[in-house]
Amino acid sequence: MNTVLQLVFSGIAMGFVYALCALGIVLIYTSAGVVNFAQGSLVMLGAYIGVTFLTKAGLPVIWSVIGCAILMGFVGVVFERIAYYPLRDQGTTIVIISTIGVSVFLNDGVYVLWGRAPLFFPPLLGGPPLELLGARIPPQNIAIAAITMALLLFQTIFFKRTWLGRKMRAVAQDQDTAALMGIKVPRMIDFTFAYSTILAAIAGIFAAPLFFVSPAIAQILSKAFASTVVGGFGSIPGAIIGGLCVGLTETFAAYYLSSAYRDAWAFLLLILFLLVRPQGIFGEIVAEKV
């Protein structure tokens, strides 16, 4: 029983990291209509910037997170202006190729700026593990869960209660109608890219203590895609639940079956959903007229 609880808490922590990355993918997909293949590399960049603020600049953890989020928000706007805005009328395929190019650029760029050696990221929250029902939970896992849930609560209030959030939701639902209502669609897409990149930064900082900071963190993109498919592509609640499903599946399968194939279990879950419920948990089958 203790082992099961331990795995549950570890899987939830990893699942929230995947969920934040998946959430960024879903937000850009619903607002701009494209899949951002650079999201994993933006997570990686957030981890590198976070470890720089924390270890090189000597900032406290909270200020490192805030500083990284602000800087990555500006990166998101620049990314949108370079990779999406000039190509938005050229077709979805061109924009997707553009995001792949940005991903390659970022992956190679970190080697130039930070070198090839993996960097150590200290735990977000120190102290002894918390004893709960016989399971020992690292404080940083508690911090990841608490901060993520607080962020999701803030996001819910933001999108439902604020004028900016409502405009962003309107653009995500129908750009043409939003434009007719006087909403500046390009500006709302700017905000969406910025917020998506902030989520990537937070996901990178959360992932950094669980792994070493290296370009390998960009591989989180594959887990994020699995999360979006499992939860329902285009669904915000689906991205969260899908991330938790992937994190728990990966953790339990790695412990009870084989850790050598840890990354494969998420794809097995993805394949099962594509076979049994391709629309995902929260998705709907949409009929098209021909």
Let me know if residue 261 belongs to a domain: no
DSSP, collapsed to helix, strand or coil, labels residue 213 as strand
Is residue 130 within a helix (H) or strand (E), and if so which, with residue range?
strand 130-132
Residues contacting residue 132 through CB under 8 Å, at least 6 positions apart:
5, 9
Determine, yes or no, domain membership for 290: no
Q: Looking at the domain assignment, is residue 283 inside a domain?
A: no
- Whether the CB-CB separation of 85 and 18 falls below 8 Å is answered with no
CA distance 250 to 266: 6
Alpha-carbon gap, residue 210 to 107, rounded angstroms: 20
- Quote the CA–CA distance of 289 and 12 in Å, as a whole number: 41
CA distance 11 to 83: 34
Residue 97 lies in a domain: yes
> How many structural domains is the chain composed of?
1
User: Does residue 220 contact residue 7 with C-beta atoms inside 8 Å?
Assistant: no
The reported pLDDT for the residue numbered 45 is 95
d(CA 215, CA 82): 22
State the pairing for strand pair 135-137/130-132: antiparallel
Please give the Cα distance from 73 to 122 (Å, whole number): 23
The reply to whether 47 falls in a domain is: yes
Give the residue ranges of DSSP H helices in the chain. 2-32, 39-51, 61-79, 92-114, 139-161, 163-173, 175-180, 185-210, 220-231, 236-256, 262-276
φ, ψ at 136 (rounded to 5°) = -105, 115
Phi/psi for 211 (5° steps) reads -130, 175
Please report, as a single letter, which amino acid is at residue 49: I
The answer as to whether 238 is a domain residue is no
Under 8 Å between Cβ of 72 and 49? yes
Mention every residue, 6+ apart, whose C-beta is less than 8 A from residue 142. Answer: 125, 130
> Rounded to whole angstroms, how far apart are CA atoms 120 and 141?
17
Nearest-CA neighbor of 69 among 126, 147, 14?
Answer: 147
What H or E segment, with its residue span, contains residue 233?
Answer: none
Chain mean position to CA 133: 30
Both tokens assigned to 228: 């979006």
CA-atom Rg of the chain in angstroms: 19
To which H or E segment does residue 137 belong? strand 135-137
Domain enclosing residue 28, as ranges:
13-218
Tens-level pLDDT at each residue, the chain (290 residues):
578 888 888 899 899 999 999 999 988 888 888 889 999 999 999 999 999 998 888 888 889 889 999 999 999 999 999 999 888 888 889 999 999 999 999 999 998 999 888 898 888 777 777 877 777 888 888 888 888 888 888 888 888 888 888 888 888 878 888 888 888 888 898 999 999 999 999 999 988 888 889 888 888 998 999 999 998 887 888 889 999 999 999 999 888 887 777 778 888 888 998 898 888 888 665 544 44
What does pTM read for this prediction?
A: 0.89
